[in-house]
Structure 1
């Protein structure tokens, strides 16, 4: 899902939340999606109609619930504006194909680009080419390492996700007076900076309680790998006190393995904020007690920001005349106590 969020200093939380309601989507090779409620017409402040702009959009293939919601949110938000022509290119998980797709948008001389790269490092050069051509790039989620390659970055707080999960687990174990807990961590893709940020945040938060991670393994953000990795960890540890799974999409497989093994002695925390994870949290007998958000609403906000930048506008609620260079969404903890409020915003895995 993302890359290194080193620029977490400018935090607006939900200041630029997208199209009224999040879009739901489901995982797998045939993702489906539905907007939970129609967005109101754009009429006030920054939403006042302005100069007609063309916004190009490129993202990975929607074979993952979170990515599917990203694409749907972006499209739904663009449709709100009569002054926006939304020009998405074919989504792909092939880096070279994504580079070619972005090249086509540069050649078309779009007014702004929203890019969620498969890999920020590998697509950095094409984003820089767009910027050098005078096309402002809104870098969504996985960050380009060269700041000259983008005008604005918007994404989630990966380190903050780990911190939130660590504090929830640390407090839960302290409340149970667990002295030397077995804490298991199931990552997404271990080599991604985003995963490393999540793991560091988790370890740092646990450290404040005097705890540490006992075992750590990555599950590649897939349901199938989530099942196999969780099965292996459950077999290796006959007793577990807590488990953090980085991603609710792969969490479908993790929960399947847990249920198959008949294990319920530990507290589990998920990551991203999927609707199915929230429904699981509502069950009183589920091991899944919380999930920490990494909302695909960022795609809605990215389109809104691209429109403002292309039209030469700033953000209406800020004093500054231009859109900020970096916006980090807060990672919130969803529990049984507040899940009803978040459930309409969840995406389907």
Structure 2
């Protein structure tokens, strides 16, 4: 699907980059400047964010010529990202596409840029100040939980499975949205039993190592586990390692989320434990870049900039299984 989006974007650009005011760019001096600020990889998903940012820019530049200039910065922490954004401002960007390392420290710098006329696309994590106009483009967290719960409940019931354990990310709003939606679906099927009780789960911090440790504990605590929901495909990697090292044969399903290349490959290969995942994909940064390009070219409105609050744009989640995995798989991606 992302490949199709980029092909469409490139095709449009090949027809000539047109500014929102209707004037065609006349060379590098009149080029639109788009700054892109992303975190460096602290886990697989953020690594994917960086890769997809660079990939999208490379694809667009092949046909956009000198009508648009990009500058991508990868920041190790919030302090560096503030400095990197300031450098992008000095460069003279017209648009900022940013996935904030942390929302609070980046809010004031982004608001200052907005006041100077820079149009801002904030990806995934919103800002702490919602009194000015920017696009907040994010994935569907509740959708991730809902699709996960629907698929897992249906599959467990069909296969006569009953017992499951669950892991989340960390105690933040998006995690609560995901897990509440997940349990809402699981609780519709009375035959399913959460071994931790009620809607309880453990925080795995979207980490391979934490997934490994928590699963090792679950394997010690519970003599029979039919299924594991671990919400994240990095966590899933650690869960699979713990299961393999334990030699346990009772576990029949492991379901993560986000949509990593590793999990796509397991699905494609017909892995008996990993048959599906749900989307919250780092390619959303390419959607943010596309949004900026489309506004600059007049294909999308720039009215969000003068709004008194952020404009929310939600990228739908969905289920990926063997029937559609080839639409999402990119062999070159790092995630």
Aligned positions, number: 310
Whether 1:42 and 2:31 are equivalent positions in the alignment is no
Whether 1:115 and 2:77 are equivalent positions in the alignment is no
Cα pair 1:161 1:294 within 8 Å, conserved: yes
Whether 1:191 and 2:171 are equivalent positions in the alignment is yes
Q: Which residue in 1 is equivalent to 2:277?
A: 291
Distance in 1 separating the partners of 2:220 and 2:189: 27
Distance 1:274 1:347, change over 3 A: farther
Cα pair 1:57 1:115 within 8 Å, conserved: yes
Distance 1:187 1:149, change over 3 A: farther
Please report the TM-score for the alignment, with normalisation by the length of structure 2: 0.81
Helix, strand or coil for the counterpart of 2:39? coil
Answer 1 or 2: which has greater helix percent.
Answer: 2
2:69 to 80, 85, 88: 85
Whether 1:71 and 2:57 are equivalent positions in the alignment is no
Distance in 2 separating the partners of 1:44 and 1:302: 21
Distance in 2 separating the partners of 1:286 and 1:47: 50
Distance 1:117 1:171, change over 3 A: same
- Structure 1, 266-275 or 331-340: larger mean CA deviation: 331-340
Q: Which residue in 2 is equivalent to 1:24?
A: none
Q: Which residue in 2 is equivalent to 1:307?
A: 293
Q: Which residue in 1 is equivalent to 2:203?
A: 218
- Pairwise mapping of residues 1-349 of structure 1 onto structure 2 (< 5 A)? 18-20=5-7, 42-44=13-15, 50=25, 52-79=31-58, 80=60, 81-82=64-65, 83-92=67-76, 94-178=77-161, 181-188=162-169, 190-210=170-190, 211=192, 213-215=194-196, 216-265=201-250, 266-284=252-270, 286-311=272-297, 313-315=298-300, 325-344=311-330, 347-349=333-335
Distance 1:145 1:201, change over 3 A: farther
Consecutive unaligned residues of structure 2, counting only runs of 5 or more, are 305-309
| Structure of larger gyration radius | 2
Cα pair 1:129 1:149 within 8 Å, conserved: no
Distance in 2 separating the partners of 1:149 and 1:213: 43
Distance 1:291 1:45, change over 3 A: farther
Distance 1:72 1:150, change over 3 A: farther
Distance 1:47 1:187, change over 3 A: farther
Distance 1:223 1:165, change over 3 A: same
Distance in 1 separating the partners of 2:256 and 2:332: 13
Q: CA RMSD in A?
A: 2.9
Distance in 2 separating the partners of 1:187 and 1:272: 13
Please report the TM-score for the alignment, with normalisation by the length of structure 1: 0.78
Cα pair 1:125 1:149 within 8 Å, conserved: no
Summarize deviations over 1:33-82 as a string: whole Å, max 9, x none: xxxxxx76832487896461111111111243322222232223233232
Helix, strand or coil for the counterpart of 2:255? strand
Distance in 2 separating the partners of 1:128 and 1:16: 33
Cα pair 2:258 2:278 within 8 Å, conserved: yes
